[in-house]
Protein backbone atom coordinates (compact mmCIF):
# COMPACT_ATOMS: atom_id res chain seq x y z
CA UNK A 1 0.00 0.00 0.00
CA UNK A 2 1.29 3.44 -0.96
CA UNK A 3 0.85 6.20 1.64
CA UNK A 4 3.15 9.19 1.20
CA UNK A 5 3.21 11.69 4.08
CA UNK A 6 3.52 15.43 3.34
CA UNK A 7 4.16 18.04 6.05
CA UNK A 8 2.17 21.21 5.36
CA UNK A 9 1.86 24.43 7.34
CA UNK A 10 1.75 24.18 11.12
CA UNK A 11 0.10 20.99 12.33
CA UNK A 12 -1.47 20.10 8.98
CA UNK A 13 -0.35 16.88 7.32
CA UNK A 14 -1.40 15.12 4.13
CA UNK A 15 -1.31 11.46 3.22
CA UNK A 16 -1.77 10.11 -0.31
CA UNK A 17 -3.59 6.80 -0.17
CA UNK A 18 -4.02 4.48 -3.17
CA UNK A 19 -7.02 2.16 -3.37
CA UNK A 20 -6.85 -0.84 -5.79
CA UNK A 21 -10.06 -0.66 -7.81
CA UNK A 22 -10.26 -4.42 -8.46
CA UNK A 23 -10.34 -5.14 -4.70
CA UNK A 24 -12.93 -2.41 -4.18
CA UNK A 25 -15.18 -3.75 -6.95
CA UNK A 26 -14.84 -7.31 -5.66
CA UNK A 27 -16.12 -6.18 -2.26
CA UNK A 28 -18.93 -4.15 -3.89
CA UNK A 29 -20.12 -7.15 -5.88
CA UNK A 30 -19.98 -9.38 -2.81
CA UNK A 31 -22.15 -6.96 -0.81
CA UNK A 32 -24.64 -6.58 -3.66
CA UNK A 33 -25.04 -10.37 -3.81
CA UNK A 34 -25.65 -10.53 -0.06
CA UNK A 35 -28.07 -7.63 -0.33
CA UNK A 36 -30.01 -9.35 -3.13
CA UNK A 37 -30.85 -12.27 -0.83
CA UNK A 38 -33.13 -10.13 1.34
CA UNK A 39 -33.81 -6.84 -0.43
CA UNK A 40 -37.42 -5.85 -1.17
CA UNK A 41 -38.10 -4.41 -4.62
CA UNK A 42 -41.40 -3.66 -6.32
CA UNK A 43 -42.49 -6.49 -8.60
CA UNK A 44 -40.34 -9.12 -6.93
CA UNK A 45 -40.69 -11.33 -3.89
CA UNK A 46 -38.18 -10.59 -1.07
CA UNK A 47 -34.78 -11.99 -2.08
CA UNK A 48 -35.87 -12.86 -5.64
CA UNK A 49 -34.89 -9.62 -7.44
CA UNK A 50 -32.26 -10.11 -10.20
CA UNK A 51 -28.74 -9.03 -9.28
CA UNK A 52 -28.70 -6.60 -12.19
CA UNK A 53 -31.82 -4.85 -10.86
CA UNK A 54 -30.37 -4.71 -7.33
CA UNK A 55 -27.10 -3.30 -8.68
CA UNK A 56 -28.92 -0.67 -10.74
CA UNK A 57 -30.63 0.71 -7.63
CA UNK A 58 -28.04 0.13 -4.92
CA UNK A 59 -24.59 -0.08 -6.53
CA UNK A 60 -23.80 3.63 -6.10
CA UNK A 61 -24.60 3.67 -2.37
CA UNK A 62 -22.80 0.39 -1.72
CA UNK A 63 -19.74 1.62 -3.63
CA UNK A 64 -19.59 4.80 -1.56
CA UNK A 65 -19.94 2.75 1.61
CA UNK A 66 -17.13 0.37 0.64
CA UNK A 67 -14.90 3.22 -0.50
CA UNK A 68 -15.43 5.08 2.78
CA UNK A 69 -14.61 2.01 4.86
CA UNK A 70 -11.58 1.19 2.72
CA UNK A 71 -10.22 4.72 3.03
CA UNK A 72 -10.69 4.68 6.79
CA UNK A 73 -8.94 1.31 7.08
CA UNK A 74 -6.01 2.29 4.89
CA UNK A 75 -5.78 5.70 6.56
CA UNK A 76 -5.58 3.98 9.95
CA UNK A 77 -2.83 1.68 8.70
CA UNK A 78 -0.89 4.64 7.29
CA UNK A 79 -1.26 6.62 10.50
CA UNK A 80 0.03 3.68 12.50
CA UNK A 81 2.91 3.18 10.06
CA UNK A 82 3.98 6.84 10.37
CA UNK A 83 3.26 6.85 14.16
CA UNK A 84 1.02 9.90 13.95
CA UNK A 85 -1.32 11.26 16.65
CA UNK A 86 -4.37 12.55 14.79
CA UNK A 87 -6.29 15.60 16.05
CA UNK A 88 -9.85 15.75 14.73
CA UNK A 89 -11.00 13.99 11.57
CA UNK A 90 -9.33 13.62 8.16
CA UNK A 91 -10.77 15.12 4.96
CA UNK A 92 -10.53 12.82 1.92
CA UNK A 93 -10.35 14.17 -1.63
CA UNK A 94 -9.59 12.32 -4.90
CA UNK A 95 -6.36 13.38 -6.59
CA UNK A 96 -6.88 15.41 -9.75
CA UNK A 97 -5.95 14.16 -13.21
CA UNK A 98 -6.35 10.42 -12.59
CA UNK A 99 -6.90 8.42 -15.76
CA UNK A 100 -5.96 4.84 -14.82
CA UNK A 101 -8.50 2.28 -13.76
CA UNK A 102 -6.29 -0.07 -11.69
CA UNK A 103 -6.18 2.17 -8.66
CA UNK A 104 -7.46 5.49 -7.39
CA UNK A 105 -5.48 7.84 -5.16
CA UNK A 106 -6.97 10.06 -2.46
CA UNK A 107 -5.44 12.82 -0.37
CA UNK A 108 -6.24 12.74 3.35
CA UNK A 109 -5.69 16.13 5.00
CA UNK A 110 -5.64 16.31 8.80
CA UNK A 111 -3.96 17.83 11.82
CA UNK A 112 -1.69 16.17 14.35
CA UNK A 113 -1.41 16.85 18.06
CA UNK A 114 1.16 19.53 18.86
CA UNK A 115 4.29 19.36 20.97
CA UNK A 116 3.57 20.99 24.33
CA UNK A 117 6.43 22.82 26.03
CA UNK A 118 5.99 23.82 29.68
CA UNK A 119 8.55 26.24 31.09
CA UNK A 120 9.90 26.24 34.64
CA UNK A 121 7.10 27.05 37.13
CA UNK A 122 9.31 27.77 40.14
CA UNK A 123 8.89 31.55 39.82
CA UNK A 124 5.11 31.28 39.67
CA UNK A 125 3.11 32.40 42.71
CA UNK A 126 -0.08 30.88 44.08
CA UNK A 127 -2.13 32.16 47.03
CA UNK A 128 -3.78 29.46 49.14
CA UNK A 129 -6.67 30.67 51.35
CA UNK A 130 -6.51 29.35 54.90
CA UNK A 131 -9.87 29.46 56.70
CA UNK A 132 -10.45 28.86 60.41
CA UNK A 133 -14.16 28.26 60.82
CA UNK A 134 -15.56 29.29 64.19
CA UNK A 135 -18.81 29.64 66.10
CA UNK A 136 -19.44 33.04 64.50
CA UNK A 137 -19.53 31.45 61.03
CA UNK A 138 -21.99 28.81 62.25
CA UNK A 139 -24.14 31.53 63.84
CA UNK A 140 -24.19 33.57 60.60
CA UNK A 141 -25.25 30.51 58.63
CA UNK A 142 -28.01 29.72 61.12
CA UNK A 143 -29.18 33.31 60.78
CA UNK A 144 -29.39 32.88 57.01
CA UNK A 145 -31.44 29.71 57.54
CA UNK A 146 -33.69 31.60 59.95
CA UNK A 147 -34.25 34.36 57.40
CA UNK A 148 -35.20 31.76 54.79
CA UNK A 149 -37.97 30.60 57.14
CA UNK A 150 -39.05 34.00 58.41
CA UNK A 151 -42.63 35.21 58.67
CA UNK A 152 -43.92 38.79 58.68
CA UNK A 153 -46.18 40.63 61.11
CA UNK A 154 -47.76 44.05 60.70
CA UNK A 155 -46.16 46.88 62.68
CA UNK A 156 -46.95 50.53 63.43
CA UNK A 157 -43.33 51.65 63.14
CA UNK A 158 -41.66 53.23 60.11
CA UNK A 159 -40.43 50.90 57.37
CA UNK A 160 -36.80 49.80 57.50
CA UNK A 161 -34.58 47.46 55.53
CA UNK A 162 -35.84 43.88 55.72
CA UNK A 163 -39.49 44.90 56.14
CA UNK A 164 -42.23 43.73 53.79
CA UNK A 165 -44.27 46.62 52.38
CA UNK A 166 -47.62 46.50 50.63
CA UNK A 167 -48.42 49.62 48.62
CA UNK A 168 -50.11 51.17 45.60
CA UNK A 169 -48.11 53.27 43.16
CA UNK A 170 -48.60 55.45 40.10
CA UNK A 171 -45.72 56.50 37.86
CA UNK A 172 -45.46 59.07 35.07
CA UNK A 173 -42.81 60.21 32.60
CA UNK A 174 -43.25 63.82 31.42
CA UNK A 175 -46.68 63.74 33.04
CA UNK A 176 -47.83 60.69 31.08
CA UNK A 177 -48.49 57.24 32.56
CA UNK A 178 -46.38 54.42 31.12
CA UNK A 179 -46.80 50.67 30.81
CA UNK A 180 -46.01 48.95 34.11
CA UNK A 181 -46.03 52.27 35.95
CA UNK A 182 -49.14 51.57 38.04
CA UNK A 183 -49.78 48.86 40.61
CA UNK A 184 -52.11 47.95 43.47
CA UNK A 185 -51.31 45.89 46.56
CA UNK A 186 -47.74 45.50 45.36
CA UNK A 187 -45.54 43.69 47.90
CA UNK A 188 -41.75 43.84 48.20
CA UNK A 189 -39.09 43.44 50.88
CA UNK A 190 -36.87 46.50 51.26
CA UNK A 191 -33.25 45.65 50.60
CA UNK A 192 -33.79 42.54 48.49
CA UNK A 193 -33.15 44.40 45.24
CA UNK A 194 -36.52 43.74 43.65
CA UNK A 195 -37.11 47.49 43.39
CA UNK A 196 -34.82 50.22 42.13
CA UNK A 197 -32.51 51.46 44.87
CA UNK A 198 -33.85 55.03 44.67
CA UNK A 199 -37.42 53.68 44.90
CA UNK A 200 -36.55 51.64 48.03
CA UNK A 201 -34.90 54.64 49.68
CA UNK A 202 -38.09 56.65 49.29
CA UNK A 203 -40.16 53.87 50.87
CA UNK A 204 -37.86 53.66 53.90
CA UNK A 205 -39.27 55.61 56.83
CA UNK A 206 -42.91 55.46 55.73
CA UNK A 207 -45.65 53.99 57.91
CA UNK A 208 -48.91 52.26 57.04
CA UNK A 209 -51.32 54.94 55.74
CA UNK A 210 -48.53 57.29 54.58
CA UNK A 211 -48.38 58.69 51.04
CA UNK A 212 -45.41 60.19 49.29
CA UNK A 213 -44.44 61.62 45.91
CA UNK A 214 -40.88 61.56 44.62
CA UNK A 215 -38.76 61.76 41.48
CA UNK A 216 -36.17 59.29 40.23
CA UNK A 217 -34.20 58.56 37.07
CA UNK A 218 -34.24 55.11 35.51
CA UNK A 219 -30.74 53.63 35.07
CA UNK A 220 -29.20 53.86 31.60
CA UNK A 221 -29.08 50.04 31.46
CA UNK A 222 -32.71 49.60 32.59
CA UNK A 223 -34.41 46.53 31.09
CA UNK A 224 -37.30 48.46 29.51
CA UNK A 225 -35.36 50.40 26.87
CA UNK A 226 -38.13 52.96 26.40
CA UNK A 227 -37.59 54.04 30.04
CA UNK A 228 -33.79 53.76 30.26
CA UNK A 229 -32.20 57.00 31.42
CA UNK A 230 -35.53 58.86 31.71
CA UNK A 231 -36.76 60.92 34.69
CA UNK A 232 -40.01 59.77 36.29
CA UNK A 233 -42.36 60.83 39.06
CA UNK A 234 -44.03 58.37 41.43
CA UNK A 235 -46.85 58.63 43.94
CA UNK A 236 -47.06 55.81 46.52
CA UNK A 237 -49.65 54.95 49.19
CA UNK A 238 -48.39 52.53 51.85
CA UNK A 239 -51.07 50.09 53.00
CA UNK A 240 -49.11 47.87 55.36
CA UNK A 241 -45.63 47.59 56.91
CA UNK A 242 -44.68 44.11 58.12
CA UNK A 243 -41.61 43.38 60.20
CA UNK A 244 -39.74 40.07 59.79
CA UNK A 245 -40.07 37.49 62.56
CA UNK A 246 -37.28 34.91 62.70
CA UNK A 247 -38.03 31.44 64.06
CA UNK A 248 -36.02 30.55 67.19
CA UNK A 249 -33.17 28.08 66.84
CA UNK A 250 -34.87 25.33 68.83
CA UNK A 251 -35.86 21.68 68.48
CA UNK A 252 -38.64 22.46 66.01
CA UNK A 253 -36.24 24.47 63.88
CA UNK A 254 -33.68 21.64 63.96
CA UNK A 255 -36.28 19.06 62.94
CA UNK A 256 -37.36 21.29 60.05
CA UNK A 257 -33.76 21.14 58.81
CA UNK A 258 -33.56 17.36 58.94
CA UNK A 259 -32.33 16.65 62.48
CA UNK A 260 -34.95 14.06 63.47
CA UNK A 261 -34.44 14.21 67.24
CA UNK A 262 -34.42 18.04 67.27
CA UNK A 263 -30.96 18.25 68.89
CA UNK A 264 -29.77 21.81 68.28
CA UNK A 265 -26.13 20.89 68.93
CA UNK A 266 -26.36 18.23 66.20
CA UNK A 267 -27.77 20.88 63.89
CA UNK A 268 -24.83 23.18 64.65
CA UNK A 269 -22.38 20.31 64.07
CA UNK A 270 -24.01 19.55 60.70
CA UNK A 271 -23.88 23.22 59.74
CA UNK A 272 -20.18 23.39 60.61
CA UNK A 273 -19.51 20.19 58.66
CA UNK A 274 -21.26 21.67 55.62
CA UNK A 275 -19.25 24.88 55.96
CA UNK A 276 -16.02 22.91 56.16
CA UNK A 277 -16.96 20.94 53.06
CA UNK A 278 -17.88 24.10 51.16
CA UNK A 279 -14.72 25.83 52.39
CA UNK A 280 -12.57 22.96 51.13
CA UNK A 281 -14.33 23.04 47.78
CA UNK A 282 -13.84 26.80 47.40
CA UNK A 283 -10.16 26.63 48.39
CA UNK A 284 -9.58 23.84 45.87
CA UNK A 285 -11.40 25.86 43.19
CA UNK A 286 -9.20 28.92 43.83
CA UNK A 287 -6.04 26.80 43.75
CA UNK A 288 -7.19 25.17 40.52
CA UNK A 289 -7.97 28.54 38.92
CA UNK A 290 -4.49 29.86 39.73
CA UNK A 291 -2.73 26.62 38.74
CA UNK A 292 -4.47 26.52 35.37
CA UNK A 293 -3.67 30.17 34.70
CA UNK A 294 -0.01 29.57 35.56
CA UNK A 295 0.13 26.58 33.19
CA UNK A 296 -1.41 28.66 30.41
CA UNK A 297 1.15 31.42 30.95
CA UNK A 298 4.13 29.06 31.01
CA UNK A 299 3.17 26.77 28.11
CA UNK A 300 3.85 27.00 24.40
CA UNK A 301 1.97 25.01 21.75
CA UNK A 302 0.23 25.28 18.39
CA UNK A 303 -3.54 24.84 18.51
CA UNK A 304 -5.15 22.22 16.23
CA UNK A 305 -7.91 24.25 14.58
CA UNK A 306 -9.94 21.10 13.99
CA UNK A 307 -10.21 20.58 17.77
CA UNK A 308 -11.08 24.26 18.29
CA UNK A 309 -13.86 23.97 15.69
CA UNK A 310 -15.24 20.83 17.35
CA UNK A 311 -15.19 22.45 20.81
CA UNK A 312 -16.81 25.62 19.43
CA UNK A 313 -19.62 23.54 17.94
CA UNK A 314 -20.04 21.61 21.20
CA UNK A 315 -20.26 24.80 23.31
CA UNK A 316 -22.71 26.36 20.88
CA UNK A 317 -25.03 23.33 20.91
CA UNK A 318 -24.86 23.10 24.71
CA UNK A 319 -25.84 26.77 25.01
CA UNK A 320 -28.68 26.42 22.51
CA UNK A 321 -30.01 23.34 24.33
CA UNK A 322 -29.81 25.13 27.70
CA UNK A 323 -31.66 28.18 26.38
CA UNK A 324 -34.37 25.98 24.84
CA UNK A 325 -34.79 24.06 28.11
CA UNK A 326 -35.43 27.38 29.88
CA UNK A 327 -37.87 28.52 27.22
CA UNK A 328 -35.61 31.31 25.96
CA UNK A 329 -36.23 32.17 22.31
CA UNK A 330 -33.19 33.45 20.46
CA UNK A 331 -31.75 33.78 16.99
CA UNK A 332 -29.17 31.20 15.87
CA UNK A 333 -25.98 31.68 17.85
CA UNK A 334 -22.75 32.62 16.11
CA UNK A 335 -19.62 30.45 16.38
CA UNK A 336 -17.61 33.63 16.98
CA UNK A 337 -19.31 33.95 20.38
CA UNK A 338 -17.63 30.73 21.55
CA UNK A 339 -14.31 30.61 19.68
CA UNK A 340 -12.30 32.34 22.41
CA UNK A 341 -13.63 30.02 25.13
CA UNK A 342 -13.10 27.01 22.85
CA UNK A 343 -9.48 27.96 22.18
CA UNK A 344 -8.78 28.29 25.90
CA UNK A 345 -10.42 24.95 26.70
CA UNK A 346 -8.55 23.11 23.95
CA UNK A 347 -5.23 24.71 24.93
CA UNK A 348 -5.74 23.86 28.59
CA UNK A 349 -6.85 20.31 27.76
CA UNK A 350 -3.68 19.67 25.75
CA UNK A 351 -1.51 21.11 28.53
CA UNK A 352 -3.20 18.98 31.19
CA UNK A 353 -2.81 15.86 29.07
CA UNK A 354 0.91 16.60 28.72
CA UNK A 355 1.37 17.09 32.48
CA UNK A 356 -0.55 13.89 33.26
CA UNK A 357 1.46 11.85 30.77
CA UNK A 358 4.87 13.39 31.44
CA UNK A 359 4.63 12.99 35.22
CA UNK A 360 2.61 9.75 35.21
CA UNK A 361 -0.22 11.21 37.28
CA UNK A 362 -3.01 8.70 37.89
CA UNK A 363 -6.34 8.74 39.71
CA UNK A 364 -5.85 6.37 42.64
CA UNK A 365 -8.79 4.20 43.84
CA UNK A 366 -8.67 5.70 47.35
CA UNK A 367 -8.68 9.22 45.89
CA UNK A 368 -11.72 8.35 43.77
CA UNK A 369 -13.49 6.83 46.80
CA UNK A 370 -12.94 10.02 48.84
CA UNK A 371 -14.23 12.23 46.02
CA UNK A 372 -17.35 10.10 45.61
CA UNK A 373 -17.93 10.18 49.38
CA UNK A 374 -17.68 13.97 49.35
CA UNK A 375 -20.15 14.20 46.48
CA UNK A 376 -22.57 11.86 48.28
CA UNK A 377 -22.29 13.52 51.69
CA UNK A 378 -24.86 16.20 50.94
CA UNK A 379 -27.59 13.60 50.24
CA UNK A 380 -29.84 11.95 52.80
CA UNK A 381 -28.66 8.43 51.92
CA UNK A 382 -24.99 8.81 50.92
CA UNK A 383 -24.34 5.05 50.70
CA UNK A 384 -26.93 4.68 47.94
CA UNK A 385 -25.48 7.67 46.09
CA UNK A 386 -21.99 6.17 46.29
CA UNK A 387 -23.31 2.88 44.91
CA UNK A 388 -25.00 4.79 42.09
CA UNK A 389 -21.66 6.38 41.17
CA UNK A 390 -19.84 3.06 41.06
CA UNK A 391 -22.56 1.56 38.83
CA UNK A 392 -22.50 4.47 36.38
CA UNK A 393 -19.46 4.47 34.01
CA UNK A 394 -20.06 8.06 32.86
CA UNK A 395 -20.18 9.37 36.43
CA UNK A 396 -17.07 7.38 37.31
CA UNK A 397 -15.27 8.94 34.37
CA UNK A 398 -16.25 12.40 35.63
CA UNK A 399 -14.89 11.56 39.09
CA UNK A 400 -11.65 10.21 37.61
CA UNK A 401 -11.27 13.46 35.65
CA UNK A 402 -11.74 15.44 38.86
CA UNK A 403 -9.10 13.32 40.56
CA UNK A 404 -6.64 13.90 37.73
CA UNK A 405 -7.31 17.65 37.89
CA UNK A 406 -6.59 17.57 41.63
CA UNK A 407 -3.32 15.76 40.93
CA UNK A 408 -2.31 18.34 38.32
CA UNK A 409 -3.11 21.18 40.74
CA UNK A 410 -1.03 19.44 43.43
CA UNK A 411 1.86 19.02 40.97
CA UNK A 412 1.75 22.69 39.97
CA UNK A 413 1.60 23.73 43.64
CA UNK A 414 4.67 21.59 44.26
CA UNK A 415 6.57 23.43 41.51
CA UNK A 416 5.43 27.00 42.24
CA UNK A 417 5.70 29.32 45.26
CA UNK A 418 2.61 28.86 47.42
CA UNK A 419 1.70 31.49 50.01
CA UNK A 420 -0.87 30.73 52.70
CA UNK A 421 -3.26 33.66 53.17
CA UNK A 422 -5.51 33.84 56.21
CA UNK A 423 -9.03 34.33 54.89
CA UNK A 424 -12.42 34.62 56.54
CA UNK A 425 -15.22 32.35 55.37
CA UNK A 426 -17.15 35.42 54.17
CA UNK A 427 -14.18 36.51 52.05
CA UNK A 428 -13.76 33.01 50.65
CA UNK A 429 -17.41 32.97 49.62
CA UNK A 430 -17.11 36.43 48.04
CA UNK A 431 -19.54 38.00 50.51
CA UNK A 432 -17.12 40.23 52.42
Distance CA 347, CA 198 (A): 46
Residues 213-233 pLDDT 10s = 999 999 999 988 999 999 999
Whether residue 53 has pLDDT greater than 80: yes
**In sequence order, what are the residues at sequence separation of 6 or more whose Cβ sits closer than 8 angstroms to the Cβ of residue 262?**
250, 251, 252, 254, 255
Q: How far is C-alpha 219 from the geometric centre of its chain's CA atoms?
A: 31
Low-confidence winner among 41-45, 87-91, 159-163, 210-214 (lowest mean pLDDT)? 41-45
Distances (CA, A) of 335 to 218, 306, 312, 344, 431: 34, 14, 6, 15, 35
Mean pLDDT of 301-330: 90
Give the chain's largest Cα–Cα span: 99
Residue 128: predicted pLDDT: 96
Mean pLDDT of 351-371: 94
The pairing of strands 103-112 and 86-94 is: antiparallel
Whether residue 144 has pLDDT greater than 90: yes
- pTM, two decimal places: 0.76
Whether residue 2 has pLDDT greater than 60: no
Distance CA 271, CA 138 (A): 6
Distance CA 13, CA 84 (A): 10
Residue 209: predicted pLDDT: 97
Whether residue 100 has pLDDT greater than 70: no
Residue 432: predicted pLDDT: 58
Distance CA 329, CA 317 (A): 14
Residue 3: predicted pLDDT: 65
Whether residue 1 has pLDDT greater than 50: no
Residues 381-391 pLDDT 10s = 888 989 999 99
Domains of the chain: 3-112 (3.30.70.1050), 125-133+279-428 (1.10.3120.10), 151-245 (3.10.50.40)
Distances (CA, A) of 240 to 169, 197, 236: 13, 20, 12
Sign of the dihedral through C-alpha 215, 220, 224, 227: positive
Output the 3-class SS for the chain. CCEEEEECCCCEEEEEEEEEHHHHHHHHHHHHHHHHCCCCCCCCCCCCCCHHHHHHHHHHHHHHHHHHHHHHHHHHHHHHHHCCCEEEEEEEEECCCCCCCCEEEEEEEEEECCCCEECCCCCCEEEEEECCCCHHHHHHHHHHHHHHCCEEEECCCCCCCCCEEEEEEEEEECCEEEEEEEEEEEEEECCCCCCCHHHHHHHCCCCCCCEEEEEEECCCCCCCCCCCCCEEEEEEEEEEEEEEECCCCCHHHHHHCCCCCCCHHHHHHHHHHHHHHHHHHHHHHHHHHHHHHHHHHHEECCCCHHHHHHHHHHHHHHHHHHHHHCCCCCCCCCCHHHHHHHHHHHHHHHHHHHHHHHCCCCCCHHHHHHHHHHHHCCCCCHHHHHHHHHCCHHHHHHHHHHHHHHHHHHHHHHHCEEEEEECCHHHHCCCC
Kindly indicate the confidence band of residue 7, based on its pLDDT and cuts at 50, 70 and 90. Answer: very high
Low-confidence winner among 28-32, 55-59, 167-171 (lowest mean pLDDT)? 55-59
Distance CA 49, CA 61 (A): 18
Residues 106-119 pLDDT 10s = 899 999 999 999 99
Residue 152: predicted pLDDT: 97
Residue 253: predicted pLDDT: 96
Amino acid sequence: MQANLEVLEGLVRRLDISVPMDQLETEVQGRLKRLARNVKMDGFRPGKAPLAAVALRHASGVRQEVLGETLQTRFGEAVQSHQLKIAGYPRFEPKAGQTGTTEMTFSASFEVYPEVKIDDLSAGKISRPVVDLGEADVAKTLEVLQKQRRTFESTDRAAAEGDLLKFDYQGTVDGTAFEGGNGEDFAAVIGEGRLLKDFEQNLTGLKAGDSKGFDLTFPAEYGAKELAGKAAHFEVQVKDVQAPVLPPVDAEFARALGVEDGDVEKLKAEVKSNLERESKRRVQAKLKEQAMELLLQKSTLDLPQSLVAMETERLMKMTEADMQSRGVQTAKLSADMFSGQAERRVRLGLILAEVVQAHKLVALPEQIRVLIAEQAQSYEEPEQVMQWYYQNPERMQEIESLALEENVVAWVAGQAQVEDVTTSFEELMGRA
